[in-house]
Amino acid sequence: MMSLNKRVLLSAALVLLVFIAGITLTLDRAFYDSARIGVKDRLFARLLMLLGDTEVDESGELEIPTNLLDAEFGHVNSDIYAFVTGPANTIVWRSTSSLNKPIPGITLLEKGKQEFEQITLDEEPYFIYRYSVAWETSSGNYPLIFNVMTDTALLEAQIERYREDLWGWLGLMAVFLLATQMLVLRWGLLPLRTVSTELAAIESGRQESLKDRYPKELKLLTDSINSLITHEHKQQKRYRNGLADLAHSLKTPLAVLQGAIHGGNDEAARLKTIQEQIDRMDNTIQYQLRRAATAGSSPGMRLIPLRSMADRIINTITRVYRDKRPHITVKIDDSMNLRIDEGDLMELLGNLIDNAFKWCHHSIHLSAGYQEDQVVIQVRDDGPGISPHEIARILERGVRADQSIPGHGIGLAIVRDIMQVYGGELLISNNPDGGLSVTLRFEKSK
């Protein structure tokens, strides 16, 4: 595919060439019309000169002084000549310069009328200016038509020279403008080349992000690229940390298992120890996998509707807790969205709603709304609540507030980790009228 620089340069060159061709044709036409008017004015001036020197006697004889022979009409090789037609539509006078020139057919013209046109004689173009007059004498009026003609050689020579100069200068201008356009495009597209260079450096590992300053048209693009790169680095770091934490967490249960196998305890105690460590390892693996899979915020993520996700999770958890039929209130507008990974949102709401079902007596309240520049999600239940000094402890992995309630003790820890990844805030407090309230605060999606 053609490069962006070549595309823009080719487009600019085509527009420039079309513009120059258009302006050339316009100027050429304007000069031709101007030159044609010049010929007309020249012929009319000679015709007026001829009229001024013409006399008609009482018998209708045309008299033109011989001093005209010294003017343009008096030279055989002159490019301009004249003739006069009389009442019988015959030529009554012709200039010396017309002796070897073609004479057109007689054209009738009303008295006082003037006519300028281009005609063809012997396959050669000529201009002719006619003027019809009624010459008054004592014996009557004599109708005369004065005709002045010239060939187009002078006009064509002028146009030819003009076109040569015009195309020459416009050609030089086109070359200059194209060179200037190349420099302007090179300067204008410099930020894109810089982006390409920096991306190549990032790919080769020489730098970690786009660092140059870019114009506002590219700012959104470069910021998004940097955000994606940062997000990817964080994701890789989470995977590495998760694997390291998983390996570290498995050392102790593996050591206990090894001791139980070779220990001298009775069979029942050994089996109990083995089962406890297997459960512990299973919990640890699940936690670390979920933690590593937490996506975090990214500009490429789509907006997830909160209401539909909440309804799906409530329907699922309701089937799990068949013995409980709490009154569930959901206050989430259908238009509310959050830019978050769908799996992360499911993990957040799933853990909070699951906890609410575990601890509630009769009711659960789920709400979401906007507060200034934040999206606030809140899950409340009417359960026993929790003592303030236990709040920080239940966020630790594997810690449960009540050992009599089934669970792994990692749900709220996962919620905490996900909120940290998204730069959100997790708040846990007791309701004034009893029960626990868990609040999630996110930056409003743009």
The CATH number assigned to the domain holding 144 equals 3.30.450
Residue 274 in domain: yes
What separation in angstroms does the CA of 187 have from each of 30, 183, 194, 251?
38, 6, 11, 60
pLDDT digits (tens, 9 = 90+) for 66-118: 565 556 788 888 889 999 988 777 888 888 888 888 888 877 788 889 999 99
Residue 382 in domain: yes
Residue 298 in domain: no
Confidence of residue 409 (pLDDT cuts 50, 70, 90): very low
My answer on whether 360 and 263 are in the same domain is no
* Total of domains in the chain: 3
My answer on whether 280 and 350 are in the same domain is no
My answer on whether 285 and 316 are in the same domain is no
Q: Where are the alpha helices (DSSP H) in 3-119?
A: 4-52
3-state secondary structure of 339: strand
My answer on whether 323 and 418 are in the same domain is yes
pLDDT digits (tens, 9 = 90+) for 308-347: 999 989 988 887 787 888 999 999 999 999 988 887 888 8
3-state secondary structure of 260: helix
DSSP secondary structure code for residue 68 in this structure: G
The contacts of residue 308 (CB under 8 Å, 6+ apart) are: none
Confidence of residue 300 (pLDDT cuts 50, 70, 90): low
The residue among 327, 336, 347, 343 whose CA lies nearest residue 307 is: 336
As beta bridge partners, residue 425 has 441
Q: Flag whether the pTM goes above 0.85.
A: no
Instruction: State the average pLDDT over residues 38-42.
Output: 92
The contacts of residue 369 (CB under 8 Å, 6+ apart) are: 331, 333, 336, 375, 376
Residue 180 in domain: no
CATH code at position 398: 3.30.565.10
My answer on whether 247 and 314 are in the same domain is no
Residue 175 in domain: no
The residue among 350, 309, 339 whose CA lies nearest residue 423 is: 339
Domain with 346, as residue range(s), is 303-443
My answer on whether 289 and 307 are in the same domain is no
Final residue of a structural domain among 112, 127, 158:
158
State the amino acid at position 333 in one-letter form: D
Strands 337-339 and 374-381, by their bridges, are unpaired
My answer on whether 282 and 377 are in the same domain is no
Q: How many CB atoms lie within 10 A of CB 10?
A: 11
What separation in angstroms does the CA of 333 have from each of 46, 247, 337, 368?
93, 44, 9, 8
Confidence of residue 292 (pLDDT cuts 50, 70, 90): low
My answer on whether 106 and 124 are in the same domain is yes
Final residue of a structural domain among 263, 293, 323:
293
360 with 381: CB under 8 angstroms?
A: yes
pLDDT digits (tens, 9 = 90+) for 351-406: 899 889 998 999 999 999 999 889 999 999 999 888 887 776 766 644 444 433 44
My answer on whether 288 and 358 are in the same domain is no
Final residue of a structural domain among 112, 133, 158:
158
